[in-house]
């Protein structure tokens, strides 16, 4: 299989699996236990926390909270900020957020909050002027993603952070597609909350984290035990935590080398597809993007049929967010960028990783254009 859906999830690195293994079989003590067997797990968890703190440039280990993944981290940050400002009833976010933020905001809108949806340009860049125009003392929180999960377009988080800091408004960043794909130093950016998830950078599923700047309010979603300094009840996922820290260290230790290699292969894939498939175009190509992602519109095909046929010939790709698989609605991201429903439904996302090879890209460039020609011919016959 040629796996080109790394924004949905990634292969667990062999080195990560190896470091996790003992915590399933030998060192399985509960970190909350007082005896030595449990306290050995506690020390390992805190070492992993310290590793992630350093890799993200956080000032203190206390700023890192372990969660079950990106969705929980996003909810913990957003709901904490709102509960700390009960008199403020406006939330500002973008029209192209991941469903874990978008759907939560829609739910909060039904509960009485006013949601301000900031638009994007046809190239996918956020409307900063609109963001500035709506910021006032009635806004409880700004929640903006760092890298779009469908197009890879990067938002100017440093600029937004400065704007929100001056207005003294809480700022949450969905960094789930950015952590592990960008060099991040949180000590230099006034972010209040940053969400991340291990399975996006070759760690295990079911473990993520939230950076919460010291002083940023945090109200637990779950009550029970006193884990995570009373901020997240529930027995710690020790193997997952160890795996998350190891995965992030691996990817950041080789960041320059791997990002250059991935970008080169991504660009080769894009250029080859655009050259061989008439009328196709890449969404967000004019903007800064994470190095592994391309979102290409291919008029004359239905993405759902195309993806099934790709799977049949051994290529894994997607039409957008993995959380929306099976949904009939075309991408809300592409429609926010001005694409019609028809063109949005003719778009596919291809996302690479450090395990993607040049041979796989060459094979994809041989198979995909042939499949597009076949589907377009069939489409004309059906018409």
Exactly one of 128, 221, 316, 323 is catalytic; which is it?
Answer: 323
Can you tell me the distance from the alpha carbon of 165 to that of 170, in angstroms, rounded to the nearest whole number?
A: 8
Whole-number Å distance between alpha carbons of 42 and 162: 37
Distance between CA 38 and CA 125 in Å, rounded? 48
Note the residue count of the chain. 383
Tell me which DSSP letter residue 287 carries.
Answer: S
Residue 173 and residue 143: Cα distance in Å, rounded? 6
Q: Which of 352, 280, 284, 343 is nearest to 318 (CA)?
A: 352
DSSP for 355-376, please give it.
T--HHHHHHHHHHHHHHHHHHH
Neighbours of 31 (CB within 10 A): 18
SS3 label, residue 140: strand
Q: Is 323 a residue of the active site?
A: yes
* Cα distance between residue 171 and residue 91, in whole Å: 10
Q: Burial code of 300-315, b = ≥16 C-beta within 10 A, e = fewer?
A: bbebeebbebbeeeeb
Q: What is the DSSP letter of 93?
A: E
Spatial CA neighbour of 309 closest among 367, 379, 382, 380: 367
Listed as own residue / partner, the contacts of 117-122 with beta carbons closer than 8 Å and 24 or more positions apart are: 117/93, 118/92, 118/93, 118/94, 118/144, 119/94, 119/95, 119/336, 120/94, 120/95, 120/96, 120/336, 120/337, 121/337, 122/337, 122/338
| Cα distance between residue 311 and residue 238, in whole Å | 35
Number of other CB atoms surrounding residue 125 within 10 Å: 17
Tell me whether strands 170-174 and 193-197 are parallel, antiparallel or unpaired: parallel
Q: Which are the catalytic amino acids?
A: 323
């Amino acid at each position: 299989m040629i796996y080109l859906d790394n924004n949905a999830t990634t292969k667990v690195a062999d080195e990560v699996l190896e470091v996790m293994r003992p915590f399933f079989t030998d060192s399985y003590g509960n970190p909350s236990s007082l005896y030595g067997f449990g306290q050995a797990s506690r020390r390992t968890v805190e070492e992993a926390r310290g590793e992630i703190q350093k890799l993200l440039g956080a000032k203190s280990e206390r700023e890192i909270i372990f969660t079950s993944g990106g969705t929980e981290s996003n909810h913990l940050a957003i709901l904490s900020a709102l509960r700390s400002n009960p008199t403020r009833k406006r939330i500002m976010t973008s029209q192209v957020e991941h469903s874990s933020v978008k759907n939560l905001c829609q739910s909060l809108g039904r509960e009485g909050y006013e949601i301000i949806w900031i638009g994007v340009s046809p190239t996918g860049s956020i409307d900063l002027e609109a963001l500035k125009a709506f910021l006032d003392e009635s806004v409880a929180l700004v929640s903006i993603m760092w890298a779009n999960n469908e197009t890879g377009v990067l938002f100017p988080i440093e600029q937004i952070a400065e704007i929100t800091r001056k207005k003294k408004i809480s700022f949450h960043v969905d960094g789930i597609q950015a952590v592990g794909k960008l060099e991040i130093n949180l000590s230099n950016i006034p972010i209040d909350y940053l969400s991340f998830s291990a399975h996006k950078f070759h760690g295990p599923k079911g473990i993520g984290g939230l950076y919460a700047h010291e002083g940023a309010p945090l109200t637990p979603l779950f009550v029970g035990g006193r884990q995570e300094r009373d901020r997240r009840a529930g027995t710690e996922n020790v193997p997952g935590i160890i795996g998350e820290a190891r995965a992030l260290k691996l990817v950041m230790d080789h960041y320059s080398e791997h990002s250059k290699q991935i970008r080169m292969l991504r660009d080769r894939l894009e250029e080859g597809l655009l050259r061989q498939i008439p009328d196709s175009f890449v969404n967000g190509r004019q903007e800064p993007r994470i190095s592994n992602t391309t979102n290409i519109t291919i008029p004359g095909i239905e993405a759902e049929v195309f993806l099934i046929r790709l799977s049949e010939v051994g290529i894994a790709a997607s039409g957008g967010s993995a959380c929306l698989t099976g949904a009939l609605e075309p991408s809300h991201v592409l429609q926010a960028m001005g694409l019609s429903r028809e063109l949005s439904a003719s778009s596919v996302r291809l996302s690479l990783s450090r395990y993607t090879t040049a041979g796989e890209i060459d094979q994809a460039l041989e198979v995909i254009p042939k499949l597009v020609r076949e589907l377009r011919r069939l489409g004309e016959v059906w018409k």
